[in-house]
Amino acid sequence: MRHFLSLYDFTKEEILEIMELGIKIKREAKVKNYIPYLQHQSLGMLFEKSSTRTRVSFEVGIHQLGGQGLFLSSNDLQLGRGEPMKDSARVISRMVDMVMIRTYSQKILDEFAAYSKVPIINGLTDKYHPVQLLADYLTMIEYGKDKNPIVAYVGDGNNMTHSWMMLAGKLGFELRIATPKGYEPLEEIKNDAKELCAKSGGKVSYHLDPKEAVKGADIVTTDTWVSMGQESEKEKKMRDFKGFIVDMDLMSLAKDDAIFLHCLPAYRGYEVSEEVFEKYADVIFDEAENRLHAQKGLMVWLDKER
C-alpha cells in the first residue's frame, strides 16, 4: 500500500503514470464517460484548514469515480475536542477506503499515515502541497511546457516552493526561486532537492532578485505571501515582500510564449498584478480545473497499488 505524502517518495516513472491516468480519465470525463474505477469506495476528507479547490475537486472527483466523499472538518470531529490523531486514524481508516488530509505539520500527516489501514493523501501541510503540483504538471503538459522547462518561482519560500523543488528534482528541470532575504525555502528541502537533482539532471537555484530568476523563463509562478496559519505575520510580510509582485514588467523578462501559473487563491496587487492575472486567466483556471483530473488519476493509481 502506498501513501501520497510528498513527491519525494515517488519516482519520475510513477509521477508519469499518475499523469497518464489523469489525462485518460479527463478525456473520458469530458464526454461524460464516468467510469466507476472506485465504485462504492469512500474517501474521507479531513480538513484542519480552509479550502475551496481541494474540497470541491476531491469530493466531485471521488463521486465521478463511482464512490463518495465525506467532508470531515476538524471543528466538528472529536479530534477538535482532543481525541488523538492516531486514534482518529485507526477509527476513520477502518471505515473508509482512502483519506485525504489538509493539516498543519507534516508530522501530523505522517502519524495519521503510520496508523492508517488505507492510503493517505496530503491535501496540503505547512511543508508541502503535492496534489497541487500534480495539477500544475498536468497543465504544463497540456501547454507544451513539460520538456526541460525553466520555471521561475517568485515569492514566499513555502509549501508550494518546496513542492516545486521536489518536482524539479524528480523530473530534472531547472527551477529558479526568488524570495526576499529570510524567506528562503527550508535548508532540509534544499538538501533533498540537491540530492534529487544530482540524480535527475535538474537544477534548483536561489535568488534575491526576482528579475534574475524570471529572465528567459518558460513558466513563472507565485503563491500568496501569507499562507494559512501565518495571519499574524501579514503586516511584516507585506513590507518585506515589496518588489516581489509578478507584474507585467517582470513577466516581460520571461520568454515571449511563457505562461504564468498560480495555485490560487490569488491576492491581486500583492504577489500578482491584476493585469498579469487576467492575461493568464485561461491557463490559471485550466490549472485549477486540473486539480480534479490529476487527483482522480492519483486516487485510481493508489487504489491499484494495494
Catalytic residue numbers read: 102, 129, 132, 223, 263, 291
Q: Which does 163 bind (CB under 5 to 8 A by kind): ligand NVA, ligand CP, none?
A: none
Q: Which of 160, 175, 213, 254 binds ligand NVA (CB under 6 A)?
A: 160
Q: Which three cell numbers stand for residue 229?
A: 496559519
The yes or no reply on residue 296 touching ligand CP (CB under 6 A) is: no
Q: Which of 42, 54, 122, 158 binds ligand CP (CB under 6 A)?
A: 54
Q: Which does 52 bind (CB under 5 to 8 A by kind): ligand CP, ligand NVA, none?
A: ligand CP
Q: Are 128 and 159 in contact (CB under 8 A)?
A: yes
Q: How many CB atoms lie within 10 A of CB 184?
A: 18
The region of 3-11, 38-46, 47-55, 247-255 touching ligand CP under the rule CB under 6 A is 47-55
Using the Cα atoms of residue 99, residue 35, residue 283 and residue 203 in order, give the sign of their dihedral: positive
The yes or no reply on residue 6 touching ligand NVA (CB under 6 A) is: no
d(CA 294, CA 59): 13
Contacts with ligand NVA, 252-281, as mask; x by CB under 6 A: -----------x------------------
Q: Which of 93, 139, 158, 295 binds ligand NVA (CB under 6 A)?
A: 158
Helix axes 130-142, 159-171, angle to 10 degrees: 50
d(CA 171, CA 97): 30
Using the Cα atoms of residue 88, residue 94, residue 100 and residue 105 in order, give the sign of their dihedral: positive
Q: Which of 42, 227, 290, 295 binds ligand NVA (CB under 6 A)?
A: 227
Contacts with ligand CP, 113-142, as mask; x by CB under 6 A: -----------x-------x----------
By CB under 6 A, the residues from 183 to 222 that bind ligand CP are none
The yes or no reply on residue 228 touching ligand NVA (CB under 6 A) is: yes
DSSP summary character for residue 97: S
Residue type, 129: H
Q: Which three cell numbers stand for residue 198?
A: 544530482
The yes or no reply on residue 60 touching ligand CP (CB under 6 A) is: no
**CB nearer ligand NVA, residue 105 or residue 148:** 105
Contacts with ligand NVA, 49-88, as mask; x by CB under 6 A: ----------------------------------------
Q: Which residue reads 500544475 in cell numbers?
A: 136
Q: Smallest gap, in angstroms, from Cβ of residue 61 to ligand CP?
A: 13
The burial class, CB within 10 Å (0-12 / 13-18 / 19+), for 289 is middle
The region of 50-58, 66-74, 85-93, 204-212 touching ligand CP under the rule CB under 6 A is 50-58
Q: Are 284 and 12 in contact (CB under 8 A)?
A: no
The torsion angles phi and psi of 241, rounded to 5 degrees, stand at -95, 10
The torsion angles phi and psi of 17, rounded to 5 degrees, stand at -60, -40
d(CA 126, CA 156): 12
Q: Smallest gap, in angstroms, from Cβ of residue 227 to ligand NVA?
A: 3
The burial class, CB within 10 Å (0-12 / 13-18 / 19+), for 40 is exposed
**CB nearer ligand CP, residue 65 or residue 288:** 288
Binding-site ranges for ligand CP (CB under 6 A): 51-54, 124, 132, 263-264
Binding-site ranges for ligand NVA (CB under 6 A): 124, 129, 158-160, 223-224, 227-228, 263
